[in-house]
Structure 1
Amino acid sequence: MNRAEHQMAVRWLANRGQRVLAPTPFIGALLATRNAAVGTLWRFLLFMVPGLAAAFGYQLAFGRALGSRTLYFVYFAMQLAMWSGIRSRQRRLAKTTHPWPGATREPWPRVLGGWFTAAVVLAYGGGVVLALSMAFTTPGRTYGLSLLGLLGLSALCQAVVLTGFLRAPALAEEPTSLAVHRALLAENIHVAAPAMVAVPPIVDTVFAEEPPGYGPLLLAYAAVVIVAELVAYVRGRRPLPPGHYGDPVPRGTEVDWSPPEAR
């Protein structure tokens, strides 16, 4: 764990009610797995190569009806790059973690929570309804079918990310590190952000590429999904239970909680 990761870990714990000068070695290593900057760029470029090829193939199949199609494939690459980077660091940490019988995985519905599940249902349910409506009740049939196909690809990509995180073994050595692991999992599921499914069509409304009359509906659809996911994220930032997370901050000690300066 480098200095920037150390500072991020201290701030992360402080934001959840645990003020420490330094986290325990294992909790520090666990929190370092959330550093998406490590290795993300080359992974993004790696996923972007087939992504651009797929975007070109999609254009050949559906034409230029959906101007935001490339944004979807960029998002797929970003999503898979972040997921791959986090899981890679988690797997490396797992090799040095002694198995702890108490490190059990939470049920998936509890991890996802009601609001995140609602955001997923709104993103895909609302998107499918709009796509089918455009495909069969307007002259914009190609636009609707193109959007429907991208929703299917989004669902596939999101399923890979979510199952990858949810099926991963719990990384913990005692109750406090298990609490940190579960709090991190509540954050990591947002790598598969359902809001990003609804955002790209906003670009089409800017250039009036959507079927007539559907601009306000697409904007309202995106707004509802974004709000639902924001609520899910805020509600998922639960305070950590009492425990030993590191060297406690003595009373009266001033600590600089500001982000580290960019180098």
Structure 2
Amino acid sequence: MTAEAEREMGLRWLAKRGRPVAAPTPYLEALLATRNAFAGGLRWLLPLALVTAAVAGVGYHALFGRGMTFSYTVYFFCFGIQLAVWLGIRSRQRQLAKATRPWPGAVREPWTRSLGAWFVASTVLAYGGGAALALAIWFTTPARTYALSWLGLLGLSALCAATVLAGFLRAPVLAEDPASLAVYRAVLAENIHGAAPALAAVPPVLDLVITSHLPAGYRPWLAGYAALVVVTELVAYVRHRRPLPPGDYGVPRPAQTDVD
């Protein structure tokens, strides 16, 4: 993506949040550009992450063999994308932090407000609900390899999501004035969804559409679990879309006039 394309992307982002401008301030332009994880020299991140994830997936299959969940391929694909996007965004954020001076008003929000109750709920449902289902399969059916392989994938997914969340929540706040602080917090709310709980709950749906080792009695439970997590996270995403407060976001658009 070119610098001009990133600028246009930033303008659309501001307009969707009720702050249309003809041109953003230079700092906001740079801040919004950090959303593009694979710019310039970072283009190698995604293919490298996907190749690494594919090799790790082969190793995971060798660990469990026959009887495991087929969703491992989707899980490792998600791991690769999640970590590549996180690394790319954090790299661009560090570049911006080095090029600017810290602003005393750049105060970090409490992590509870940054995450929001709905995102926390979707996370608990994804990992707690998934673990409960896997354990139920372990204790009530012969499909113990399936249950154990799914538990392992949930654990790896939780580790991946925790890495992404910690990286974004502990990063320095990037702002130079109240307007850029509001934009930073809105961008952070978006970045948090890089740890999407749905990516822990949706991959096992693959076992519903192909012949798998998932016990038949648990098919409706798995479908309901995945749907509940997706809906809860969608609500969290919508509620994270905060309107931006008044402030200096750049050069105002020319006033519209009627032409006879």
TM-score (norm 1): 0.93
Rounded Cα–Cα distance in structure 1 between residues aligned with 2:256 and 2:224: 49
- For 2:51, the equivalent position in structure 1 comes to 49
Q: Which runs of 5+ in 2 are unaligned?
A: none
Aligned-partner residue type, residue 14 of structure 1 = A
Tell whether the 8 Å contact from 1:172 to 1:178 is kept in structure 2 after alignment.
yes
Distance 2:248 2:229 in 1: 38
SS in structure 2 of the partner of residue 95 of structure 1: helix
Amino acid at match of 2:25: T
| Structure 2 residue aligned with 1:5 | 6
Report the Cα distance in structure 1 between the residues aligned to 2:114 and 2:237, rounded to whole angstroms: 12
* Deviation digits for residues 215-247 of structure 1 (CA, Å, limit 9, x no counterpart): 111111111000111111111000000001001
- Residue in structure 2 matched with residue 84 of structure 1 by the alignment: 87
SS at match of 1:243: coil
Q: Are the counterparts in 2 of residues 40 and 81 from structure 1 also a CA contact under 8 Å?
A: no
Q: In the alignment, is residue 245 of structure 1 matched against residue 249 of structure 2?
A: yes
- CA distance in structure 1 between the aligned counterparts of 2:90 and 2:121, rounded to whole angstroms: 25
Match of 1:131 in 2: 134
Q: Tell me which residue corresponds to 1:257.
A: none
What amino acid does structure 2 have at the position aligned with 1:252?
Q
Q: What is the match of residue 217 of structure 2?
A: 213
Contact 1:143–1:211 (CA<8 Å) still a contact in 2? Answer: no
Offset of 1:57 from its aligned partner?
1.7
In the alignment, structure 1 segments of 5+ residues that lack a partner are 255-263
Gap change, CA 1:66 and 1:252, over 3 Å in 2: same
| 2:118 aligned residue | 115
Match for residue 177 of structure 1?
180
Counterpart of 1:170 in 2: which secondary structure? Answer: coil
> How far did 1:49 drift?
3.2
Divergent runs of 4+, >4 A: none
The CA deviation at 1:83 is 0.3
Q: TM-score, normalised by structure 2?
A: 0.94
C-alpha RMSD of the superposition: 1.5
Displacement after TM superposition at 1:177 (Å): 0.4
Give the Cα separation in 1 of the matches to 2:201 and 2:13: 29
Change (3 A) 1:41 1:217: farther
Q: Which whole-Å deviations, capped at 9, do the CAs of 1:2-34 have from their partners, x for residues lacking one?
A: 111111111100111101011000001000000
Number of residue pairs the alignment of both structures matches: 254
Amino acid across the alignment from 2:69: L
